């Protein structure tokens, strides 16, 4: 309750300042802590990774790997840091984050601001002996002339320091990045990534703005290049008619509940295209136990959230997990894995 109250108080600050205060608080040890282990029914396995629960933190919150262990201690089953790019960069000009309070949503046009690969590497080296599943979201510099080389450089430098990696080709805020989702460019990218030989699982993260028919093509490319799974999905450049907030016309990627329906449709489409074995992480509009469970039943092995915490606070993690336990038990499932794709 104290941390959720603090979250509401941070809404008096502009979004980037509030975010920075939150990171500093976590680094200072002021974040929430979970002292009891999760119920056994929540334990699950994701491409060889043992997760205490299927609720993960999406990339974008801890861009520079400053507080992954504090976030794990708060109750997340896994944490994804980044996006990291080879060179430090400021990203797009401010203001570039906009709360859509009435819609419980956010628009951002950050452009991968981060402190760069060298500092990110140092921080992962310092935590390398610690337990917990920490992943890295790989990005490309705004001014890069060779985007594929950027992904390869980051993956190669960090390949022994994280438990999974995400090839992020779906941010709408780096011009031209989403073109890497097209078939020929995607093959080139995935071939280069596969050649690095990372021992940890590698996921592809896609946009929600693709057509359902592209699922078969992307699944084939992931399989061909022996990646481990897919994260569905990033923010959307569309603006649903349901939006009512004053900031709804701002440019950038929209996240939160307005993305839920479309991203969950894509989870369903990719599970159908991939069959039961490919790992799928569902993200987009997860804001409660009901939406988390819906992603799992649609075909996600695990889920991620971020935007909802801006409005609900870190207590949301425990509320979602309690709600998942209740729903799994009511439906007669012995584990999260049993519920994947159940609908």
Which is it for strands 78-84 and 97-100: parallel, antiparallel or unpaired?
A: unpaired
Q: DSSP letters of 286-341? A: --SHHHHHHHHHHT-SEEEESHHHHHH-THHHHHHHHHHHHHHHHTT-SSHHHHTT
Integer Cα distance of 296 and 280 in angstroms: 9
List of residues 6+ apart from 183 with CB closer than 8 A: 217, 221
Cα 202 from Cα 115, distance rounded (Å): 23
Please identify which of the residues 171, 233, 245, 287 carries the catalytic annotation. 171
Biggest CA pair distance of the chain: 53
Please, which residues bridge with residue 236 across strands? Answer: 254
- Return the bridge partners of 107, or none: 98, 254
Answer for the pair 232, 267: CB distance below 8 angstroms, yes or no.
yes
Is residue 287 part of the annotated active site? The answer reads no
Torsion of CA 233, 179, 88, 232, to 10 degrees: 10
- Beta-bridged to residue 304, according to DSSP, are 56, 283
Gyration radius of the chain's alpha carbons: 18
* Tokens representing residue 163 in the block: 């438990």
Is residue 58 classed exposed, middle or buried when 0-12, 13-18 and 19+ CB atoms within 10 A define those classes? buried
Q: Residue 249 carries which DSSP code? A: G
3-class state of residue 5 by DSSP = helix
Token pair 């995400």: residue:
166
Catalytic residues: 171
């Amino acid at each position: 309750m104290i941390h959720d109250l603090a979250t509401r108080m941070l809404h008096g600050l502009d979004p980037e300042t509030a975010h920075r205060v939150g990171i500093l608080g976590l680094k200072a040890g002021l974040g929430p802590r979970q002292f009891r282990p999760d119920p056994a029914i929540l334990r699950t396995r994701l491409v060889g990774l043992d997760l205490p629960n299927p609720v993960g933190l999406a990339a974008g919150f801890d861009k520079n790997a400053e507080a992954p262990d504090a976030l794990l201690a708060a109750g997340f089953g896994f944490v994804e840091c980044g996006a990291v790019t080879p060179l430090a960069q400021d990203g797009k000009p401010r203001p570039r984050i906009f709360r859509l309070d009435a819609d419980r949503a956010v628009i951002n046009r950050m452009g991968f601001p981060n402190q760069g690969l060298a500092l990110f590497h140092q921080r992962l080296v310092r935590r390398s002996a610690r337990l917990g599943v920490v992943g890295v979201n790989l990005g490309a510099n705004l001014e890069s002339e060779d985007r594929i080389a950027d992904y390869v450089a980051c993956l190669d430098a960090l390949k022994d320091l994280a438990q999974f990696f995400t090839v992020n080709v779906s941010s709408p805020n780096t011009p031209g990045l989403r073109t890497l989702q097209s078939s020929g460019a995607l093959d080139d990218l995935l071939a280069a990534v596969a050649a690095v030989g990372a021992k940890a699982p590698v996921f592809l993260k896609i946009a929600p703005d693709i057509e359902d028919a592209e699922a078969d093509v992307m699944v084939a490319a992931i399989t061909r290049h022996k990646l481990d799974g897919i994260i569905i999905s990033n923010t959307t450049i569309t603006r649903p008619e349901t939006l009512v907030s004053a900031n709804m016309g701002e440019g950038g990627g929209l996240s939160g509940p307005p993305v839920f329906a479309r991203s969950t449709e894509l989870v369903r489409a990719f599970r159908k295209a991939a069959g039961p074995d490919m790992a799928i992480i569902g993200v987009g509009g997860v804001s409660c136990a009901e939406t988390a469970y819906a992603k799992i039943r649609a075909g996600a092995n695990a889920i991620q959230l971020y935007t909802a915490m801006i409005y609900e606070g870190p207590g949301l993690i425990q509320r979602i997990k309690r709600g998942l336990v209740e729903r799994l038990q009511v439906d007669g499932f012995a584990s999260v894995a049993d519920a994947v794709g159940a609908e």
